[in-house]
Amino acid sequence: MFPFTESPIACPVARRMNMFAALPLLLLAPAALLAQQPAAPDDAHVAARVDSLLGQMTIEEKIGQITQIGPSPIGPDNLKPEDLIREGRAGSVLWTIDSAQIKKMQEIAVNESRLKIPLLFGFDVIHGYKNVFPVPIGMASSWDPAMVEHAQAIAAEEASVSGVNWSFGPMVDIARDPRWGRIVEGAGEDPYLGAAMARAQVLGFQGPQLGTPHHVVASVKHFAGYGAAEGGRDYDASYIPEELFRNVYLRPFQAAIDAGVGTVMSAYMDLNDVPASGNVWLLRDVLRHDMGFRGFVISDAWAVASLKVHGFARDPEDAAWRGLTAGVNMDMGSETYLHNVAKLVESGRLPMTVLDEMVREVLAVKVRMGLFEHPYGDLASKDKVLNDPEHRTATRVAAQRSMVLLRNEGGALPLKKAVRSVAVIGPIADSADITGSWTAETNSAVSVLEGLRKKLPNARIEFVRGGDMQRLYPLPWDADEGKKATPLMSAEEMNREVAKAVQAAKRAEIVVLVLGERANMSGEAASRVSLALPGNQQRLLEAVVATGKPVVLVLLNGRPLDISWAAEHVPAILEAWYPGSEGGTAIADVLFGEVNPGGKLPVTWPRVTGQVPIYYNHNLTHAPEDEPGFTSRYADFVTAPLYPFGFGLSYTTFAFSNLQLDQKSISPTGTLHISVDVENRGGVAGDEVVQLYIHQRAGSASRPVRELKGFQRVALAPGEKKTVRFSLGNDELKFWSPQTRAWVVETEEFDAWVGGDSKATLHSEFKVTAATE
CA separation for the pair 77, 91 (Å, rounded): 19
The active-site residue, picked from 300, 331, 478, 687, is 300
Q: Which of 411, 408, 424, 420 is nearest to 511 (CA)?
A: 424
Q: How far is the CB of 333 from ligand BGC (least distance, A)?
A: 8
| Residue closer to ligand BGC, measured from CB, 301 or 362 | 301
CA separation for the pair 363, 765 (Å, rounded): 51
CA separation for the pair 88, 90 (Å, rounded): 6
Q: How far is the CB of 186 from ligand BGC (least distance, A)?
A: 11
106-135 mask for ligand BGC (x: CB under 6 A)? ------------------x-----------
Identify the helix (H) or strand (E) that includes residue 208.
Answer: none
Strand partners, 263: 219, 296
Instruction: Calculate Rg over the CA atoms of the chain.
Output: 26
Q: Based on the residue annotation, tell me whether 51 is a catalytic residue of this protein.
A: no
Burial bucket for residue 292 (CB in 10 Å: 0-12, 13-18, 19+): exposed
Among 524, 562, 575, 687, binds ligand BGC (CB under 6 A): 524
Q: How far is the CB of 124 from ligand BGC (least distance, A)?
A: 5
- Cβ within 8 Å of residue 95, ≥6 positions away: 4, 8, 9, 16, 70, 71, 122, 123
CA separation for the pair 370, 374 (Å, rounded): 6
CA separation for the pair 649, 537 (Å, rounded): 25
Residues 275-334 that bind ligand BGC (CB under 6 A): 300-301
DSSP summary character for residue 287 = I
Residues 162-181 that bind ligand BGC (CB under 6 A): 168
- Report cis status (omega within 30 of 0) of the bond before 170: yes
Question: Phi/psi at 720 (nearest 5 deg)?
Answer: -80, 145
| Residue closer to ligand BGC, measured from CB, 450 or 478 | 478
Q: How far is the CB of 438 from ligand BGC (least distance, A)?
A: 8
Among 130, 150, 176, 221, binds ligand BGC (CB under 6 A): 221
Identify the helix (H) or strand (E) that includes residue 579.
Answer: none
Residue nearest to ligand BGC (CB): 168
DSSP summary character for residue 547 = T
In three-state secondary structure terms, 111 is: helix
CA separation for the pair 615, 627 (Å, rounded): 20
Residues 612-631 that bind ligand BGC (CB under 6 A): none
- Cβ within 8 Å of residue 696, ≥6 positions away: 703, 733, 735, 746, 748, 749, 750
Q: Where are the beta strands (DSSP E) in 528-671?
A: 551-556, 572-575, 654-661, 665-666
| Residue closer to ligand BGC, measured from CB, 61 or 300 | 300
CB 221 within 8 A of CB 264: yes
Q: Which of 127, 224, 140 is nearest to 187 (CA)?
A: 140
Which letter, b or e, does each residue of 684-697 get, where b requires 16 or more Cβ atoms within 10 Å of its Cβ? ebbbbbbbbbbbbe
| Site for ligand BGC, rule CB under 6 A | 1, 124, 168, 221, 300-301, 524
Residues acting as catalytic residues: 300
